[in-house]
Amino acid sequence: MNSREITLPYMFKPRKYQLPFLAALDQGKKRIVAVLHRGAGKDLMALNWIIKTAIQKPAVYLHCFPKYSQGKKAIWNSVHQTDDGESMSYLDHIPPELIRNKDSSEMRITFINGSVYCIMGMDGKNATQARGMNPSCVIMSEYAFMDPESWYTIEPRVTQNNGTAIFLSTPNGQNHFYDLYNFAKEKSKENKDWFSNLLTIDDTGAVDPKHIKELRDQGYPEDFIQQEYYCSFTRGAQGSYYGKQIQESRDDGRICKVSIDKSLPCFTAWDIGVGDSSAIWIGQQLSNGKITLLDYYENHGVGLDHYINYLDKFRNKHDIIWGTHYVPHDMRNREFTSGISRLEIAENLGYKMTPVVKDNQAYSFEVGIQCVRSTLSNCIFDAESCKFGIKCLDLYRKKFNETLKVYSDEPCHDRYSHGADAFRMACVGIKELGNSRKLSSDQIKEMRKKFLGY
């Protein structure tokens, strides 16, 4: 068999705008965060760097996507157009002489020097499986659409191996990828191990402006175009229930420093979890109809008394009195062991709760969603105390049907849903029930004397 000289990268010539990214990797930078527009060739670029590096340094190299099906479609079975206009498989960039074994069922390639390149979806328990493979390099592709827990699971092993992590994505609202990019941008100024960049179609010239015009003429939403081609983080996450309204709150300056009006009672709104996270919003309904959100608190694995204690501390710290406490209908359920409802437990601890119900039934989910959307324009959030609560509202989204490629009518139950559910209790409770504990000035004075001593 005749041997031939192989040059890596193989049948790939990087575009000019990709050179700083590749140079950062060749310089040994360990954390790469790149915000790149649709059609920038980010996965092809990263793949060719991995092929070259895998031959130079035997190790495990993982190419991770939010879903297994995405990795299969984007890389394993994918074909791209070369600059010469020819079709070429992504995997054809690996010279066959360098491949010892190719396993299609696992989407895994073993090189002749023992290096392993594997394409993985981070859905299900695959993040744990990825950690068990002991990777030295991971590509987190479309990271804005991936559960951040995937990286949290893999990170210790990559760090122990003094390895490299490459985060590639278009934006998806101001979520974990937005936070990571901003962190990397600051970190890269002082730390030689970090690199970040953001490239729009204006920076790369990789997309013909005529294509953007065609998209607009076809009726594509402008915020979609801004996100996908101009790398805008200001569009709500795809499938988000309230993303646009939260962005309007930012634009209007309604996420800011908020003061407490001590002449008015404060309300709370709850989402109660059993063996899960519970969340509380604290706010005030002002005389002009505006609603100020003063604080957001969430925890898990603790009893009701823990949250009551938090509210006691908040009241004493800020010299406020309590008005209505809006809670979901299932707080009326009796505990199996004690036969006592959590409503009764709370009342025994000094907090009389108001279930958000109509005719003894919970309000429908659709009513709640519309109520939140119509209320958000009237809300002012404390930027610091409500930081994670705001993120919950921004990123609360619909489930995505991977088969039909559409968003369903059901919400995605994740780390953001508890804060959104509690906020829904506030909006529906205020609109439908009003302040069931409206206090006169004399009652406020009496309660201040009782709880605050003056």
pTM: 0.76
pLDDT at residue number 454: 56
Fold match, 16-204 / 255-451:
no
Q: Which CATH fold would you assign to the domain 255-451? A: Nucleotidyltransferase; domain 5 (3.30.420)
Query: pLDDT digits over 396-452, tens only?
Result: 988 877 566 577 888 988 889 999 999 999 999 999 887 545 555 666 566 556 655
pLDDT at residue number 336: 44
Domain locations in the chain? Answer: 16-204, 255-451
Question: Does pLDDT of 308 surpass 60?
Answer: yes
pLDDT at residue number 72: 94
Element (H, E) at 267: strand 266-271
Q: Rounded mean pLDDT of 223-248?
A: 88
Tokens linked to 217: 């003429």
Confidence bin at 125 (pLDDT 50/70/90): confident
**Terminal-to-terminal C-alpha distance of the chain:** 95
pLDDT at residue number 85: 78
pLDDT at residue number 154: 95
* Dist CA 279 CA 403 (whole Å): 33
How confident is the prediction for the chain on average, in pLDDT? Answer: 90
Q: Rounded mean pLDDT of 114-136?
A: 92
The dihedral over CA atoms of 233, 238, 241, 245, expressed in degrees to the nearest 10, equals: 20
CATH class of 16-204: alpha beta
* Dist CA 78 CA 292 (whole Å): 50
pLDDT at residue number 409: 82
* Dist CA 255 CA 253 (whole Å): 5
